[in-house]
A and B are shown apart, each in its own frame.
Chain A
Amino acid sequence: MTYVQVVLNGILLGGFYLLMAQGLNLVFGVMGIVNLAHGAFIVLGGLGVWSLYGAGVNPFLGLVVVMVAAAALGAFVQWAVIERIKGTAKQHELLTLMATFGLSYILINLGQQYWGSDYRTIDFLQSAVVVGPLRFSLALLVGVVLAAVITLGIAFWLTRTRSGTSLRAQAQSPLGAGACGINPRRLRLVGFSVGAAVAAAAGMLLVMTQPIAPQAATNFTIVAFVVIALGGLGNYKGAAVGALLVGVVQTVSGYELGAVVQAAAPYLMLILVMLFKPAGLLSRKASA
C-alpha cells in the first residue's frame, strides 16, 4: 500500500509541475519565445498571493488578482521588450532568450527589494484528504484540479477559438497569417499575457505547498523547461505526460533511492529523452 501512496503522491506532484509548465509551453512551445523569466512570474505571483493573504484576502481571490496583474505585466513586457526585438526567427529566439534572462534578474531583484529574500509560504489548505489507508495533500489536490482546468482551457482556446488558432497560425507563418488579415502583434500580446497569468496561477499553488523566495525563481524555470521538453514543445498532452512522469519518477526514486537521487531524476530523464526521443515523448517520430 505504501507504494500506491508513493505513486499517487507522484501524480499529485506531476499535476503541480504541469501547472508550472503550461504558461511556458504556450509562450515557448507555441509562440517560440524562450522566456527565461517564467520562474520569476511564478514566484512573483506566489508572493503576491502571500501578501494578499497576509492582508486577509482569500487565496482564491488573490489568485484572480495576481493573474490579472501578471497578465498586465506580461503584456507590458511583450510590448516594451519582446516585440521590439528584430531579426530572423533564429536570431529572434536567441535575442529573446538573452532579453528574458536579463528580465528575470530584474524581476527577481525587484521581488527581493519588495519582499526581501526570506522564504514565504501560507498556512492554507494544509490538511490531508484521507481515503482508506491513503492520504493526499489537499493543496496538491487543488493544484491538480487547477492544472487540469487551465490545461483544458488553453487547449480549447488554441484549437477551438479564432484567436487561439490565429495565434498558432502566426507562430507557424507570420507572413501567411498577416496575409489572412491576422494582427500578429495583438495576438502575441495576448499570448504572452496568458502565459504570464498562468505562471502566476502556478505561483499561488506553489506558495501553498512550499516556501518560496524571489531568488528561487530560476529553479522553477528549469523544472518547467524539463517538463515541456519531455512532452514536446507546444504539445499539451505531451506536457501532461511529461509532468506526471517527472512527478512519479521523483517520488518513486526518492522513496527507493533517497532524496539526493530524487533531485537529479528529472534532469537524467531529460538527457535520456534528448538522446532517444528529442522531439518529445509523444512525438510520432524522432526529429533530428
Chain B
Amino acid sequence: MSRSTKVAVGIAVSATVLAGCGGGSDDGSAGGGSSDEPITIGATVSLTGAYASSGTNVSNGYQLAVDQINADGGVLGRQLELDLQDDQSDAAVVGRLYTEFLGTDEVDALLSPYGSALGGPAAQLAERYQTPMAHSQTSSPAVFEGTEWNVMAGLTPGYTVLADVPAFAAENGYTRITLVNNDLDAFSAICDGVEDGIEDAGGTLVDRIEYAASTSDFSSTALRIAEGDPEVVVECSAIQDSIGLTRAMDQGGFRPAIIASPTASDPAFADSLGELSARAIGYSEFSESLGFEGSEEFVQGYDEAYDTPVNSQAAGAYATVQVLAAAIEEAGSTDKEAVNTALHDGSFDTVIGTYSVDETGVQTGYSPILFQYQDGAQAVVFPSDEAGAVAAQLPY
C-alpha cells in the first residue's frame, strides 16, 4: 500500500472513530427482501477539487448507467436510486460521506469514489460495515489486499495497462526499450508490467530511469534517454510529466520509433502536444469498435446526455454499474452477502469486456487495447487481430 493511500486510510478510519458510529448490518437489512422500493446505491465522486475533471467523467458514467438501467425496467423489477455526493477530492470528506451512507444502513451497495487515494479509505469502510463496493477507478491492487467486500470493476490493474507494448514493438521490428517512471507507486507498477513484458517479448531493456513526482524540467532526463538510443520509450508518467518529457526529447533532437504513455488517452495529451501527439501510443479499456456489451447504447446515451465524446473513465464507471446491477440480478435479492458473493464469483459482460476478479477482488477479465493517434483520432493497433484494429504507423 502506498504511503498516500495509507495516510488516506488513516484519515478515513479516524473519521469513522470520531463519528462514533456502530457496526455494520449483518443481515443486509437495507433491502434484503423483495420490495417495490428502489435499490439504493451510495457513491461519492470528485465534482470539485483536484480530481474534479476525472470525477465528473465518473459521475457521468455512473448516472448514465443508472438512468439507462431504470429505463429498461430496473433490476429485479425495482428502480435503482443513486445517492451521489461530492467528496471534494478529499479523503476526509470521503470518510465522512461513506460513514453517513453506511451508518444509517440505508444503502444496499456502494460505488467507489475516483482513484486509489480516495478508493482506499472508502474500501476500508465497506469492509467495516460489510457492504459490497464496486470500484470504478481504483487501480492499485494494494487497496484490495485483505478485503472481502471490494471488487475492481471499472478498470484493470495498473501493472497490465502497457504490458503489451513490448509485444507490439516486437511485432513491428523494435526491441530496444527504455522505461521512464514517476516514482509514485502507481506509475512504478505500470513500468514493472512493461519490464516483465520485455522479457516475455524477447526485447532488451536499455535503461529504466526514475524521477521524482515533483520534477518539472526533463531536459537532462531526455539527454540520458537519447544516450541509450532506444527504439521505444515508455513514459510511466502523470499527464503533465508525459507532456514535458515528450517535448524535452523533441527539443533535444531525439525521436524514438515508438513513444507510449498511459495518459495518452487524456484529451489534454493531444491538445497540449499538438503534432507531437501524432503516432503516440496509449491504452484504452473502451473502444466502440470492440463491440462489447452495450457499447452502442452507452456511446449514444453519453452523447445525448452530455454532448461530449465518451472517455475511458466514464466507460469504466458505466461498466461498474453494469457489474453491480448484474450481480444483484444474479443474487436474486439485495442481500449484501449474496450480492458480494456474486461480485466475487460472477462473470458479467460490460462495455469494457467481460468482468471477473481473483480471490482478492482484483480485476482479471478485461484486456486493455493499445491505440495510436492517427489523423487526430485514436485507432486500435494492438492486439492486431482485435476487431477494428488497423496497421500501426511507425516510426513515431
| A117 touching B217, Cβ below 8 Å | no
Pick the most buried of A2, A120, A123: most chain B CB atoms within 10 A of its CB.
Answer: A123
**Whole-angstrom CA separation of A120 from B224 in the bound complex:** 26
Residues on A with beta carbons closer than 8 Å to the beta carbon of B210: 258-260
Task: Kindly supply a per-residue 1/0 record for chain A positions 12-23, scoring 1 wherever the CB is within 8 Å of any chain B CB and 0 otherwise.
Answer: 010000000000
Q: Are B240 and A210 in contact (CB under 8 A)?
A: yes
- In the complex, are the beta carbons of A128 and B268 less than 8 A apart? no
| B309 CB to nearest chain A CB (Å) | 16
Closest partner residue, chain A, to B210 (CB atom) = A260
Judge whether B300 is part of the interface by a CB distance below 8 angstroms: no
- CB distance A262 to B252 under 8 Å? no
Q: Which chain B residues in 251-290 approach chain A with CB under 8 Å? A: 251-253, 268, 271-274, 276
Known: A112-B48, A135-B253, A260-B183. A211 touches B214 (CB 8 A): no
B224 contacts A255, CB within 8 Å? yes
Q: Check if B142 is an interface residue, CB within 8 A of chain A.
A: no
Say which residue of A13, A126, A130, A136 sits within 8 Å of B217 (CB atoms). A13
Q: Does A221 contact B (CB under 8 A)?
A: no
Write out, one digit per residue, whether chain B residues 177-218 have a CB within 8 A of any chain A CB (1) or not (0).
000000100000000000000000000000001111011111
A259-B209, A262-B212 known; A211+B217 contact, CB < 8 A: no
In chain B, residues 318-349, which have Cβ atoms closer than 8 Å to a Cβ of chain A? none
Q: When the two chains form their complex, are residues B216 and A210 in contact, meaning their CB atoms are under 8 A apart?
A: yes
Given contacts A215-B50, A262-B217, contact A119 B211 (CB under 8 A): no
Instruction: List 19 other contacts, CB 8 Å, given A120-B272, A123-B273, A213-B240.
Output: A2-B227, A6-B219, A6-B220, A9-B220, A112-B50, A112-B52, A116-B52, A116-B53, A117-B50, A117-B51, A121-B243, A122-B272, A127-B251, A211-B243, A251-B219, A254-B217, A262-B211, A262-B217, A263-B214
Task: Across the A-B interface, give the 8 residue pairs with the lowest CB-CB distance, nearest first.
Answer: A259-B211, A254-B220, A263-B212, A123-B274, A211-B240, A255-B220, A119-B240, A9-B219
Q: List 30 A-B contacts (CB under 8 A).
A: A6-B219, A6-B220, A6-B223, A112-B49, A116-B52, A119-B239, A119-B240, A123-B271, A126-B251, A126-B276, A128-B251, A135-B252, A137-B219, A210-B243, A211-B239, A211-B240, A211-B244, A215-B50, A250-B220, A251-B217, A251-B219, A254-B217, A254-B219, A255-B220, A258-B209, A259-B220, A259-B221, A260-B183, A262-B211, A262-B220
- List chain A positions with a Cβ less than 8 A from chain B: 2, 5-6, 9, 13, 112-113, 116-123, 126-128, 130, 135-137, 210-213, 215, 219, 250-252, 254-255, 258-260, 262-264
